[in-house]
Amino acid sequence: MTAREAYSLYVERAVAGANEADGPFSSLSRDKLAARGRISSVRGTRELAPRGCLPSTGVPPPLVASHVARHRLAQPLLSQGCMITRFVMVSGIGLLFLSASPASAAPAAIKCGATITGAAILTADLVCPSGHGLVIVGSSAVLDCAGHRITGGDRTGQYGIYVRDGAGAVVRNCVAERFEVGIRVRGMQSGILKKNVAQDNLRYGIEVTQGSTAIRIQKNQVLDNGDEGIHLSGPDDVDAAHEILNNTVGGNALEGIYVLRSHGNLIAGNTVRDHGAAGIYVKDSDRNRLDANILINDPIHLVYGSTQNVLTDNTIVGQQIRFKEASDNQVHRMTVRTEGGRPSVAYEFMSSARNVIADSQVTAPSDYDIRATASSTGNVFSRFSVTSTLDCSVDPSSSVRVSNGSGAALACGK
């Protein structure tokens, strides 16, 4: 029996007052029916609905006929884009009443300034001369740019991807360029920025600020921005607990990674190089961990109240580590390697006390292995390795204790 014959039979019996045997699927969606696996092959679907749920006339068919066994209802096979609104049985023929599902419509193209609240995939590049590129709002929103570019108009107050006010947002595979900030996150609890490129922006490549916590910034490229590569600030009242992992950060005008009054973060496995001021700059920030980062031509600075930070297995090539008004920090297995005549000083202390450097080494800086000034007292180097004679400069207000790999004390300054 064809679908049209089944429909005619149904109409005739309905008119005659025949009893309709409502099946167990009345008012159920296609997905629920499919999950139960109770409908066998559909007949007449191609005839009535050659394009998803719509026939050639553009009008959704009222029903599709399906042969249904009375006691054994099997795997469904339904046309895409349809919603089942009713199921009835007529003489062993199952009649499925269908309507077009909203999901069957082609998704609208994403335009500049759009607000993303669910899952979205960018299908083309965007050029946005003014306003924000895209805004991600709420909880669990996901933007996948699939490698497409979002290009701004070099305007202040313009953000390429603005992630705000929610939890669990994900931004991946995007290129954000020529905005004030490439990707900005504010007021977001947990979230992931992964495999993005933030480049050639006026100020920051990536900024995480204003109460955001537990943001993972992973495997991004943050390049050639006009101020800082990655900027973390706040919150003041709780640990931020951000994770900055395995990123490539290079060529930004001032700092590569800047941590400002932001506590309890993990910065690990990043390659940071060729910045104007510092590779990693930690200011007034506590309890951060810096692990296994490689810095090339870039120093690490711990400054202005930063305390209880722990640095492990980091390597600096052609630059130094500096402590300025930063006390009670720990450094383990640090390597400072000279290249191109730099650094002139490998480990420098200015108004900084009680820092501990353990199992670390330096290779022949041009001037000093260690320099301490301005009341930098109680700094300790244990099991410290140098390529030749230890060279120290310690002013009368400061003190440094150094031991070699065997535990023997080495003279350093007074």
* 44 inside domain: yes
Residue 10 is given by DSSP the state H
**What is the distance, to the nearest Å, from the Cα of residue 131 to the centroid of all Cα atoms in its chain?**
22
Q: What's the whole-number mean pLDDT along residues 311-327?
A: 98
For residue 86, is it within any domain? yes
Distances (CA, A) of 80 to 53, 54, 73, 105, 239: 6, 10, 20, 11, 48
Residue 242 CB coordination number (10 Å): 25
Domain total of the chain? 1
Q: Residue 307: how many CB atoms within 10 A of its CB?
A: 17
Question: What burial letters (b/e) apply to 245-267, b meaning 16+ CB within 10 Å?
Answer: bbbbbbbbeebbbbbbbbbbbeb
Instruction: Note the Cα 361 to chain centre separation in Å.
Output: 34
Window from 63-77, 187-201, 316-330 with minimum mean pLDDT: 63-77
Q: Give residue-wise pLDDT tens across range 234-246.
A: 998 999 999 999 9
What is the CA 208 to chain-centroid distance, rounded? 11
Residue 325 — pLDDT band, cuts 50, 70, 90? very high
Contact 377, 371 (CB under 8 A): no
Q: Is residue 103 scored above 70 in pLDDT? A: no
Residue 337 belongs to a domain: no
Token pair 């609905």 is found at: 49
Residue linked to tokens 């930004």: 252
How far is residue 206's CA from residue 185's CA, in Å, rounded to a whole number? Answer: 8
Residue 384 is predicted with a pLDDT of 97
Per-residue tokens: 127: 């050029």
Mean pLDDT along residues 7-30:
41
Average predicted confidence (pLDDT) for the chain:
83
Q: How far apart are the C-alpha atoms of 367 and 94, rounded to whole Å? A: 90
For the segment 391-410, the average pLDDT, to the nearest whole number, is 95
| Per-residue pLDDT tens digits for 246-304 | 999 999 999 999 999 999 999 999 999 999 999 999 999 999 999 999 999 999 999 99
413 — pLDDT class (breaks 50, 70, 90): low
The SS3 call for residue 8 is helix
Q: Provide the whole-model pTM.
A: 0.77
Asked if omega into 365 is within 30° of 0 (cis), the reply is no
Q: Are 121 and 98 in contact (CB under 8 A)?
A: no
Burial of 227 (0-12, 13-18, 19+ CB in 10 A): buried
In this structure, is residue 15 part of a structural domain? yes
Listed in order, strand segments (DSSP E) in 271-390 are 271-273, 278-283, 289-291, 294-296, 300-303, 310-312, 315-317, 321-324, 330-332, 335-337, 345-350, 356-358, 361-363, 368-373, 379-382, 385-386
- As a whole number, mean pLDDT of residues 71-95 equals 44
Q: Tell me, yes or no, whether 45 lies in a domain.
A: yes
Question: Quick one: pLDDT at residue 118?
Answer: 95
| Confidence label for 390 from pLDDT (cuts 50, 70 and 90) | very high
- Give CA–CA dist 208/169, Å, rounded: 13
Separation between Cα atoms, residue 368 and residue 348, nearest integer Å = 9
Check whether the bond before 343 is cis (ω within 30° of 0). Answer: yes
DSSP lists the bridge partners of residue 392 as: 370
Residue 41 lies in a domain: yes
- What are the tens digits of pLDDT across the range 340-374? 999 999 999 999 999 999 999 999 899 999 999 99
- Range(s) of the domain holding residue 22: 3-104
CB 323 within 8 A of CB 352: yes
Task: Tell me the pLDDT tens digit for each residue of 178-200.
Answer: 999 999 999 999 999 999 999 99
User: Are 267 and 244 spatial neighbours (Cβ–Cβ below 8 Å)?
Assistant: yes
C-alpha–C-alpha distance, residues 244 and 242, integer Å: 7
Q: How far is CA 175 from CA 24, 178, 180, in A?
A: 50, 10, 14
Domain membership of residue 22 (yes or no) is yes
Widest distance between CA atoms in the chain: 112
Q: For residue 90, name the pLDDT band (cuts at 50, 70, 90).
A: low
User: Does 63 fall in a domain?
Assistant: yes
Q: How confident is the model over 142-178, as pLDDT tens digits?
A: 999 999 999 999 999 999 999 999 999 999 999 999 9
